[in-house]
């Protein structure tokens, strides 16, 4: 068989990514050869994938997570179009893994036919190779100002004849209006593919919700396939840093007598915020995102994460007082870590004729290096070690590189070929590598070093924490939620047989364009 399904949502962050992953894991456990797909993603959280030509390319982090749910290695075709916002008005376009252009809302229209063609071709290939492809939409299909030229929501569903379910986040409130309104703002041909609904993040008495679900069914002629409960443990691989609460995850009690407090700066254009998630899986490590300078004073470790706009986010640090707070943290002898764009901000100077086009700007001056931006983008997996015998792996995504460095500077990491990477300078650390903390031995080494520098002599790392196992538990939990709380028999019929042909039209429909 060749089956498919589109998971659409009433809003961004309604639960499309996790529901798609959960359905993928449920099907994978049934022995179905299944793959994920998202025609276009807009996110600065990306994963590096090796393409068929051996070059590194980027896809959305969520699609890499969904691939793992399917038991697959990531594939560039799982997310053929990735838009990486560099500002409120411009985004870098990554097409089948490679950066090809920077666009604004106006210029996007001219490029959109090429992007749609690439996305449709990628889905066609995947459907020829897999039994089932579970597709994720973007935003909401009822964004009526964007329906012309759409190729990720109902445009994709129409092109590929995909039955569609709409997920709504009840925790936000107004879920019935959102689900009904999403359907009622679509034209008849689009509505004909909307087969039903899923409610996400419910907590409370299901009996109180049941009458509303019945009324929604009467109003729309469509069933609700199930109600997913609020699950506190679902926080790994978040699509967007804004989905995080102030504290990541559910910190377990420390193995020793002291906690380790980690403050991560929530940059306006933060990228690959998932880098710090592995730290939050460690017992006794409290990881929080913050924009408050005062909160840095109490932290044991301050992390400057990646950024899609290094110079602009550096200016924001100065405007908000966070730059001074970071400098004061270092002056007090407490450790700091910069990752990718955050590493670049720690430099003495940044020479950027490419991303910000501001030329030379002063960095924070906490590392004796200078950064120069190149039009060529480095996108590749990275493997190496620290202290010669502690293995570490990660990946690189950056335009900037270290153009000048103090020859006596101690590297943080070394590639397998012996080349130096990153820096350690007193309590200041930096690297261009993302994802290093997923390496269990390196994470323990780094946290042990941080605890010593911060004077937390009572902190002890846990010798048995496995980030890979934590991720697998997360994916299995998603599969369990789908199996236990959704009508999987009805979902399977939908995947296998497409949307019913007798679904009623719900007025008023889409406005005339």
All domains of the chain in start order, with CATH: 3-234+471-497 (3.40.50.300), 256-461 (3.40.50.880)
Answer yes or no: are the C-beta atoms of 47 and 64 closer than 8 Å: yes
Answer yes or no: are the C-beta atoms of 390 and 384 closer than 8 Å: no
pTM for the structure as a whole: 0.90
Alpha helices in 145-225 (DSSP H): 154-160, 175-184, 188-191, 206-220
Q: Note the pLDDT of residue 213.
A: 96
Q: Note the pLDDT of residue 244.
A: 47
Catalytically annotated residues: 340, 434
Q: Note the pLDDT of residue 118.
A: 94
Q: Note the pLDDT of residue 235.
A: 64
Residue 318 structure tokens? 């100065």
Q: How far is Cα 397 from Cα 386, in angstroms, rounded to an integer? A: 20
Which of these, 130, 115, 127, lies nearest to 80 by C-alpha position?
115
Helical (H) or strand (E) element with 166 = strand 164-169
Q: How far is Cα 366 from Cα 72, in angstroms, rounded to an integer? A: 41
Q: Note the pLDDT of residue 111.
A: 83
The model's pLDDT over 248-264, given as tens digits with 9 standing for 90+, comes to: 777 888 898 999 999 99
Q: Note the pLDDT of residue 51.
A: 81
For 383-399, b/e burial (b = at least 16 CB within 10 A) is ebbbeeebebbbbbbbb
Q: How far is Cα 82 from Cα 73, in angstroms, rounded to an integer? A: 18
Q: pLDDT averaged over consecutive 10-residue blocks of the chain (513 residues)? A: 89 91 96 96 84 84 94 95 79 85 77 91 96 95 89 95 96 93 96 96 91 96 94 66 62 90 93 89 93 93 94 96 97 96 96 87 96 90 88 92 92 92 96 95 96 95 91 92 96 92 92 77
Can you tell me whether residue 352 is helix, strand or coil? strand
Which of these, 505, 503, 481, lies nearest to 233 by C-alpha position?
481
Q: Identify the residue whose tokens are 């008023």.
A: 508
End-to-end CA distance of the chain: 37
Q: Note the pLDDT of residue 242.
A: 47
Q: Note the pLDDT of residue 239.
A: 58
Q: Note the pLDDT of residue 96.
A: 87
């Amino acid at each position: 068989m060749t089956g498919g399904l589109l998971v659409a949502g009433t809003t961004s962050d309604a639960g499309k990514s996790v529901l798609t992953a959960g359905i993928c894991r449920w099907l994978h456990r049934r022995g179905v050869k299944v793959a994920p797909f998202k025609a276009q993603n807009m996110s600065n959280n990306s994963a590096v994938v090796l393409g068929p030509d051996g070059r590194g390319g980027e896809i959305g982090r969520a699609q890499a997570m969904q691939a793992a749910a399917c038991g697959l290695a990531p594939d560039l075709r799982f997310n053929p179009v990735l838009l990486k916002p560099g500002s409120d008005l411009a985004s870098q376009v990554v097409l089948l893994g490679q950066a090809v252009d920077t666009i604004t809302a106006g210029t996007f229209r001219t490029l959109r036919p090429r992007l749609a063609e690439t996305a449709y071709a990628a889905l066609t290939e995947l459907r020829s190779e897999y039994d089932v492809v579970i597709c994720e939409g973007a935003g909401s299909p009822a964004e009526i100002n964007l329906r012309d030229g759409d190729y990720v929501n109902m445009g994709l569903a129409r092109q590929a004849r995909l039955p569609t379910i709409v997920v709504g986040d009840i925790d936000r409130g107004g879920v019935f209006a959102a689900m009904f309104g999403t359907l009622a703002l679509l034209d008849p041909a689009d509505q004909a593919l909307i087969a039903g609904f899923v409610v996400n993040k419910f907590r409370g008495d299901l009996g109180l919700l049941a009458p509303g679900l019945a009324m929604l069914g009467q109003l729309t002629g469509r069933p609700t396939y199930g109600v997913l409960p609020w699950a506190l443990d679902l926080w790994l691989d978040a699509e967007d840093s804004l989905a995080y609460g102030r504290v990541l995850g559910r910190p377990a009690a420390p193995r020793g007598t002291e906690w380790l407090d980690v403050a991560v700066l929530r940059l306006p254009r933060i990228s690959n915020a998932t880098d710090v998630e592995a730290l939050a899986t460690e017992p006794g490590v409290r990881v929080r995102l913050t924009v408050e300078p005062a909160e840095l004073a109490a932290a044991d470790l301050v992390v400057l994460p990646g950024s899609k706009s290094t110079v602009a986010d550096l200016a924001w640090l100065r405007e908000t007082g966070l730059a001074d707070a970071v400098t004061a943290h270092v002056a007090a002898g407490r450790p700091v870590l910069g990752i990718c764009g955050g590493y670049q901000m720690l430099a003495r100077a940044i020479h950027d004729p490419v991303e910000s086009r501001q030329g030379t700007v002063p960095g924070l001056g906490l590392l004796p290096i200078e950064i120069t931006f190149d039009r060529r983008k480095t996108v590749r997996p990275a493997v190496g070690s620290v202290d010669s015998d502690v293995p570490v792996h990660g990946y690189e995504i950056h335009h900037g590189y270290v153009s000048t460095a103090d020859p006596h500077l101690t590297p943080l990491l070394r590639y397998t070929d012996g080349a130096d990477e990153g820096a350690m300078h007193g309590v200041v650390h930096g690297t261009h590598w993302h994802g290093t903390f997923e390496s269990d031995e390196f994470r323990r080494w780094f946290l042990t070093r941080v605890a010593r520098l911060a004077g937390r002599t009572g902190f002890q790392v846990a010798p048995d924490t496995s980030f890979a196992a934590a991720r697998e538990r997360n994916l299995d939990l998603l599969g369990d939620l789908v199996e236990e709380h959704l009508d999987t028999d009805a979902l399977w019929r939908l995947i296998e047989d497409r949307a019913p042909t007798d679904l009623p039209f719900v007025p008023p429909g889409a406005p005339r364009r």
